[in-house]
Amino acid sequence: MRAQSRTPWSNTVRTGLLGGVAALLLSLVGLIEASAQRAIITGVLSMGHTLLLLIYVWAAQQAVRRLAADGERQPSRLETLTHGALAGLLISAVLAALVLLGQVINLRAVFINASPALFDLLTLKLGTWLGGGVLLVVGVVLGLLVASLSFIPSQFRKPLVLGLAAIPVVSVLASALFAIRGLSLLGALILLVLVAAASYLWDLKKGAVRERMNNLTPTGQRTTRWLRWLLPAVIVLLLPLLGKYPSEVLDNVGLYILMGLGLNIVVGFAGLLDLGYVAFFALGAYTMGVLTSPEIQWAGARLTFWEALPFSVLVATISGILLGIPVLGMRGDYLAIVTLGFGEIIRLVALSDWLKPYIGGSNGITRIPKAVVGPIELATPQTLYYLIILGCLVVAFVTIRVKDSRLGRAWMAVREDEDVAQAMGIDLVRTKLLAFATGAAFSGLSGAIFASKLTSIYPHSFHLLVSINVLCLIIVGGMGSIPGVIVGSLALVGLPELLREFSEYRLMMYGAALVFMMLNRPEGLMPEARRKLELHEAEGGAGE
Amino acid sequence: MALLEVNTIHTYYGAIHALKGISIQVEQGEIVTLIGANGAGKSTTLNTICGILHPHQGSILLDGEPIHGLRPHEIVARGVAQAPEGRRVFGRLNVIENLEMGAFARKDKAGIRRDMERVFTLFPRLKERAKQVAGTLSGGEQQMLAIGRALMASPRLLLLDEPSMGLAPILVEAIFDTIREINAQGTTILLVEQNALMALSVANRGYVLETGNIVLHDSASALQKNEMVRKAYLGEE
Ligand SMILES: Nc1ncnc2c1ncn2[C@@H]1O[C@H](COP(=O)(O)OP(=O)(O)O)[C@@H](O)[C@H]1O
Ligand SMILES: [Mg+2]
């Protein structure tokens, strides 16, 4: 709808060039070369090539879809193929131009990543001229293939696409988790067939299964509903069996989920943009450190993890209220700036020489004990995982209950319109302070577990970037949505840890993910029902 | 004793002296209107009564008890509700949820249900759109919702800020008919309007506000005949 005035051709050219620029960007920042180390299908396809492939697929698909959506009549097959091919060709042309330019002038003076290795990757080691030609041909062929996908009847297309998508996903997971170096060609094919067949059969039988479920006796239905919860629950509980490193990653994801659920209350529910959220994480962690580490002399008898935990949460909660009081009258950007300052102040105070005798200054606090449950010390990432899952469950439960309570409705009203909320009889002070306090409590809990997980904490662990990360994962997951926090944490914390090639590009990925989300899915990956509804109705033009 | 008594209040926005000693009385059961040009201070007056703004001087009494020191939610609890200027319904919530929000301060479930029925009887259009998201309602429907939402607080005194703003004449008529009906059912109303003609036709008494001062007050019928009012607000030469 947006591009009604453009002709289909200019649309496709624009999409192709956009894809070309994206491919160029990924190449020049070094991401393609870095991720070429990892094989998706051994000897056949590297991850670097897969990334480029995804751009081709996106562009060609976009071109074909717009062609079908914008025109007054159904495009012919030839038109569809031509547009797909053109989009693919344009991406290749941009990349080929890069390769050519790289032969003429020394690009490396400016773009250090424009290396011979990159050019080899782009030209498939066939040299500038032959390789460049092949690159163009490959672009056209890819465009044609993607375009011809739209000719396949949809009951076959979906399984095929899912099967193809499963290859890189499974391969990346397998290599990240088990140090397997890519799938074999045969393995990839088997995977493709299995996933496609499963998807096809499921689509075929879905109706019958639903019907049978509906025909079950009430007790039977209840059992199946339980089973539907039980299966994911069992999987979640078994995840640590994947090993030490995956558990470590999941632990980090879990700590971010805790923080995300807390900030979600402040930002997502109550609409208060808090950029200093890391402060409460830090306070929770430092409280744990001060009360439990044998290094600290001045704070009385040493407590265990469990004894110190309530204090961590309490200190964070009280600080949440203390921060809340001065910013009660502030809105939007003012609030954001003041809270941002608060976060930095806490970090700088922790770093200061002034408090060094008490909390270690830049040396931090070390020798923080692990949590002990009965005879077991939660010393490994695997055991710690269960503690974190428990924390997440408690926090998620509280969040769900609060969301539908009077307080939850008050938060929603304050988020929508502060003045009107007041005029409805909502106590603004109480409502805002409770949001800050609850959010801070969750973050404090996360910080306390973090401290005992690492056994040592330093001021630099509590950088502004943590607040930004948490905010990003909420936005990507979907403001105000609890599943969104989980998905956002997995996507923005879990994924980059698995793909270590990407660690350098983490911030770039965040930026790209945010821009992409704002343009294509502003409601987030797992939107809150209300927001989804609203954006849907806006699209339908049901407004005034 | 008057239901509402506003005694020479002065309200400031920072250094801006918006209300310069205003006095208003509203008796139980009346419709009183406050008319004046844009920027005269009408909304400021209502917001000061509601407790969203605080007067620097003067007093506001409800049933003889001072309320000018109270916070907005406490004033709502005492029976004063406002349908704010520009409607400001909760755009993402549906009609029912908006109405429930209006009853936030109350805990009597049966009473809330009764008042919801009452609102739906007053505004059958809202009942038809009970599940529709408020942001997608038409301007007139949003105004009905804003009034309905204020009624859900079960107020003794209803403050209406320019309910006719931006509505087609036929809708304005309908809204004013309903205002009369609400009043007939026993709710006292303080009505702020720029549309002096309509406002004076439903009100018992009126006050004319100019740049933060009350310049005139009289019965509605007298104001309708008043030379100055006719020139300034009823568009006559
Ligand atoms: N938030 C504000 N900050 C500063 N001045 C304001 C604010 N709101 C209103 N004013 C000023 O106060 C005066 C009265 O405004 P208002 O009560 O909104 O008038 P009315 O409702 O009669 O149109 C105007 O001069 C206006 O500019
Ligand atoms: Mg006004």
A440: domain range? Answer: 242-540
User: Which of B47, B133, B152, B159 would you mutate first to test chain A, the one with the most A CBs within 10 A?
Assistant: B133
Rounded Cα distance, A63 and A67, in Å: 6
Asked if A258 and A398 sit in the same domain, the reply is yes
Q: Is B212 in the pocket of ligand 1 (CB under 6 A)?
A: no
Number of domains in chain A: 2
CB-closest option in B81, B104, B136 to A426: B104
Asked if A454 and A321 sit in the same domain, the reply is yes
Cβ-based contacts of A269 with chain B (< 8 Å): none
pLDDT score of A474 more than 50: yes
Distance B18 CA to ligand 1 centre (A): 7
> B235: how many CB neighbours lie within 10 A of its CB?
9
pLDDT score of A69 more than 70: yes
User: pTM of the entire structure?
Assistant: 0.85
Residue A534 is predicted with a pLDDT of: 55
The ipTM assigned to this model is 0.89
Asked if A481 and A363 sit in the same domain, the reply is yes
Alpha helix (H) residue ranges in A478-505: 482-489, 495-498
Per-residue buried b or exposed e for A215-224, using 16+ beta carbons within 10 Å of the residue's own CB: eeeeeeeeee
Asked if A385 and A248 sit in the same domain, the reply is yes
Rounded Cα distance, A418 and B126, in Å: 24
Asked if A317 and A428 sit in the same domain, the reply is yes
Q: Choose the final residue of a domain: A118, A151, A184.
A: A151
> B26: how many CB neighbours lie within 10 A of its CB?
24
Assigned domain for A61 exists? yes
Query: Cβ A420–B91 below 8 Å, yes or no?
Result: no
Structural domains of chain B, with CATH: 1-79+156-237 (3.40.50.300), 90-154 (no CATH)
Mutate to test the pocket of ligand 1, among B12, B43, B49 (most ligand atoms within 8 A of CB): B43
Per-residue confidence at A218, pLDDT binned at 50, 70, 90? confident
Rounded Cα distance, A462 and A306, in Å: 23
Name every residue in A having a CB less than 8 A away from some CB of B: 406, 409-410, 412-413, 416-417, 419-420, 422-429, 530-531, 533-534, 537, 542-544
Task: Please state at what angle helix A278-292 crosses helix A305-324, rounded to 10 degrees.
Answer: 140
Asked if A145 and A264 sit in the same domain, the reply is no
* Widest Cα–Cα separation across chain A: 81
Per-residue confidence at A539, pLDDT binned at 50, 70, 90? very low
Tokens of residue A7, six digits: 């002709």
Contact A399, A486 (CB under 8 A): no
Residue A540 is predicted with a pLDDT of: 42
pLDDT digit string, tens, across residues A301-352: 889 999 999 999 999 999 999 999 999 888 878 899 999 999 999 999 999 9
The reply to whether B165 touches chain A by the CB within 8 Å rule is no
Per-residue pLDDT of chain B (237 residues; tens, 9 = 90+): 899 999 999 999 999 999 999 999 999 999 999 999 999 999 999 999 999 999 999 999 999 999 999 999 999 999 999 999 998 999 989 999 999 999 998 989 999 999 999 999 999 999 999 999 999 999 999 999 999 999 999 999 999 999 999 899 999 999 999 999 999 999 999 999 998 989 999 999 999 999 999 999 999 999 999 888 888 776 665
Assigned domain for A237 exists? no
Which residue has better confidence, A7 or A252? Answer: A252
Contact A15, A63 (CB under 8 A): yes
Average pLDDT, integer, range A226-238: 88
Residue A37 is predicted with a pLDDT of: 84
Assigned domain for A250 exists? yes
Which residue has better confidence, A540 or A114? Answer: A114
Assigned domain for A481 exists? yes
Assigned domain for A383 exists? yes
Assigned domain for A45 exists? yes
Grouping H, G, I as helix, E, B as strand and the rest as coil, residue A286 is helix
Asked if A346 and A486 sit in the same domain, the reply is yes
CATH number of the domain enclosing A470: 1.10.3470
* Widest Cα–Cα separation across chain B: 54
Query: Least CA distance to A405: which residue of chain B?
Result: B104
Asked if A141 and A254 sit in the same domain, the reply is no
Tokens of residue A304, six digits: 């265990």
Asked if A299 and A448 sit in the same domain, the reply is yes
Contact A407, A242 (CB under 8 A): no
Give burial (CB, 10 Å; 0-12/13-18/19+) of B60.
buried
**CA neighbor of B102 nearest in space, from B36, B161, B171, B148:** B148
Contacts of A210 (CB under 8 A, 6+ apart): none
Q: How far is B186 from chain A (nearest CA, A)?
A: 21
Q: Choose the final residue of a domain: A123, A151, A179.
A: A151
Rounded Cα distance, A45 and A476, in Å: 29
Residue A303 DSSP symbol: P
Give burial (CB, 10 Å; 0-12/13-18/19+) of A354.
exposed
pLDDT digit string, tens, across residues A192-202: 999 999 999 98
How far is the first Cα of chain B from the last one, in angstroms, to the nearest whole number?
40
The amino acid occupying position A428 is L
Instruction: Specify the residue with its C-alpha closest to ligand 1, atom 18.
Output: B43
CB-closest option in A416, A427, A531 to B73: A427
Contact A308, A448 (CB under 8 A): yes
Q: Choose the final residue of a domain: A103, A133, A151.
A: A151
Rounded Cα distance, B215 and B229, in Å: 10
Range of weakest confidence among A65-79, A470-484, A524-538: A524-538
Cβ-based contacts of A422 with chain B (< 8 Å): 50-52, 72-73
pLDDT score of A1 more than 50: no
Assigned domain for A194 exists? no
Q: Is B84 in the pocket of ligand 1 (CB under 6 A)?
A: no
CB-closest option in A410, A423, A534 to B133: A534
CA A378 from centre of chain: 27
Asked if A309 and A455 sit in the same domain, the reply is yes
Per-residue buried b or exposed e for B123-159, using 16+ beta carbons within 10 Å of the residue's own CB: bebbeebeebbbbbbeebbbbbbbbbbbbbbbbbbbb
Asked if A109 and A258 sit in the same domain, the reply is no
Average pLDDT, integer, range A495-520: 79
Assigned domain for A171 exists? no
CB-closest option in A406, A417, A425 to B73: A425
Asked if A140 and A246 sit in the same domain, the reply is no
Mean pLDDT over the full length of chain A = 88
Average pLDDT, integer, range A47-72: 89
**CA neighbor of B220 nearest in space, from B189, B198, B236:** B198
Q: Is B43 in the pocket of ligand 1 (CB under 6 A)?
A: yes
